């Protein structure tokens, strides 16, 4: 009898030990799973100082989105000699090298911001670039050949949704509110203007569409913005060549009109939208200073395009794929203010980026981009 009870007691002890071991194993597995879960979450917790960069606009900011749309070579720069200075291959940027946003990303400690339309899996936590060469604030500007501002905003909303799915609502909201939004738009609207509206009415249409776009970004969390104003459009080599070598004052006049109204528009938004901050860069003044006194800024020539043909290189033939195969190419693009008939060289872009990044209030106000990134 005692022997049987002893055996039963042993069985109970063994069963208890196995039960305890199973519990320990279960708790251990749970801890492992929970730790893994925490690690997954922590991967999405970005540093408190992280500031993303989102970019909208036209060829001044396009890093190659137009490589991936059904368009013509007039609106693409994915062929030699574009990109020859820095990248050593054509990226789709309308210059010999980097553009303003590329330098801003560098100054901010970010990688080069990728194109939105490039195929593949994107991570948007550093930002993304929606700009499209030839795009305008008005849908009608080069319609069917470019990604207009309204469509760029639709793409941004998709990115916002993707960030919320990846990071969660709170983290995505924080990222979008800390981010800086760079926008260059309007030049193509004025250059391709086909409207019976007066200059004032037309400028208000452009600025009206820009305002709608800014409010959409604001709704999704955007608070910090950067804007270059219009350069003296009538002094582009393309237009000067058409006028026999002189700037076309009527075209520059509407750029001046735009530049007079844009600060008023931004000031209104500042009053209407809580937390709205911006850097307004006097691109017009910066370009004019270099056109009038190129040697002061390290340029040998601010009249002719480095790459093109005809008078002043004003024929838009750089690369030989836009209907005219012959073109000339200078030896050193850094000596030229203009790389092609419409667009500045990398050297010029770097100077502008330095000004909008850290310039004083005589050239960028009420904030510069460095201040916005640190805010």
Domain ranges for the chain: 49-298+346-374
Q: Is residue 192 a contact partner of residue 141, using CB atoms and an 8 Å limit?
A: yes
Q: Is residue 304 a contact partner of residue 240, using CB atoms and an 8 Å limit?
A: no
Q: Summarize pLDDT for 152-209 with one digit per residue, the tens.
A: 999 999 999 999 999 999 999 999 999 999 999 999 999 999 889 999 999 999 999 9
| Structure confidence at residue 48 as a pLDDT band (50, 70, 90) | confident
DSSP letters for 168-180: -HHHHHHHHHH-E
Task: Kindly state the percentage of the chain with pLDDT values over 70.
Answer: 88
pLDDT value, residue 16: 46
pLDDT at 357 over 70: yes
Contact partners, residue 68, CB within 8 Å, separation at least 6: 115, 117, 118, 119
| Structure confidence at residue 49 as a pLDDT band (50, 70, 90) | confident
- Which residues pair with residue 224 across a beta bridge? 180, 277
- Interior CA angle at 330 toward 233 and 340, to 5°? 25
Q: Summarize pLDDT for 107-116 with one digit per residue, the tens.
A: 999 999 999 9
pLDDT at 375 over 50: yes
pLDDT at 37 over 60: no
Q: Summarize pLDDT for 273-285 with one digit per residue, the tens.
A: 999 999 999 999 9
Distance from C-alpha of 154 to C-alpha of 295, rounded to nearest angstrom:
43
pLDDT value, residue 42: 37
Please give the model's pTM, rounded to 2 decimal places.
0.88
Q: Hey, which residues are catalytic here?
A: 59, 340, 343
pLDDT value, residue 7: 47
Superfamily of domain 49-298+346-374: SGNH hydrolase (3.40.50.1110)
């Amino acid at each position: 009898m005692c022997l049987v009870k002893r055996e039963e007691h042993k069985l109970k002890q063994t069963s208890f030990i196995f039960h305890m071991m199973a519990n320990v194993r279960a708790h251990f597995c749970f801890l492992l799973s929970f730790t893994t879960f925490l690690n997954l979450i922590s991967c999405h917790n970005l540093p408190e100082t992280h500031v993303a960069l989102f970019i909208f606009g036209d060829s001044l900011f396009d890093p190659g989105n137009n490589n991936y749309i059904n368009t013509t070579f007039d609106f693409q720069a994915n062929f030699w000699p574009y990109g020859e200075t820095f990248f050593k291959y054509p990226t789709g940027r309308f210059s010999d090298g980097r553009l303003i946003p590329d330098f801003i990303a560098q100054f901010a400690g970010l990688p080069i911001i990728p194109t939105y339309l490039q195929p593949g899996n994107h991570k948007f936590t550093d930002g993304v670039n929606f700009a499209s060469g030839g795009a305008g604030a008005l849908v009608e500007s080069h319609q069917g050949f470019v990604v207009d501002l309204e469509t760029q905003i639709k793409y941004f909303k998709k990115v916002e949704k993707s960030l919320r799915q990846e990071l969660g609502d709170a983290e995505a909201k924080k990222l979008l509110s800390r981010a800086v939004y760079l926008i260059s738009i309007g030049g193509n609207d004025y250059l391709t203007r086909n409207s019976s509206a007066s200059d004032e009415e037309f400028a208000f249409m452009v600025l009206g569409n820009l305002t709608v776009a800014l409010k959409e970004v604001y709704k999704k969390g955007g608070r910090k913005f950067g804007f270059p104003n219009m350069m003296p459009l009538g002094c582009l080599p393309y237009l000067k060549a058409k006028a026999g070598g002189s700037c076309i004052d009527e075209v520059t006049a509407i750029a001046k009109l735009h530049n007079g109204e844009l600060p008023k528009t931004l000031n209104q938004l500042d009053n209407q939208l809580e937390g709205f901050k911006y850097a307004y860069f006097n691109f017009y003044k910066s370009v004019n200073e270099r056109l009038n006194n190129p040697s002061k800024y390290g340029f040998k020539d601010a009249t002719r395009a480095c790459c093109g043909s005809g008078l002043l290189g004003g024929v838009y033939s750089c690369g030989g794929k836009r209907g005219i195969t012959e073109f000339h190419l200078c030896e050193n693009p850094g000596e030229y203010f203009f790389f092609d008939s419409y667009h500045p060289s990398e050297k010029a872009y770097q100077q502008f980026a330095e000004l909008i990044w850290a310039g004083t209030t005589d050239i960028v106000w009420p904030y510069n981009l460095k201040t916005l990134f640190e805010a």
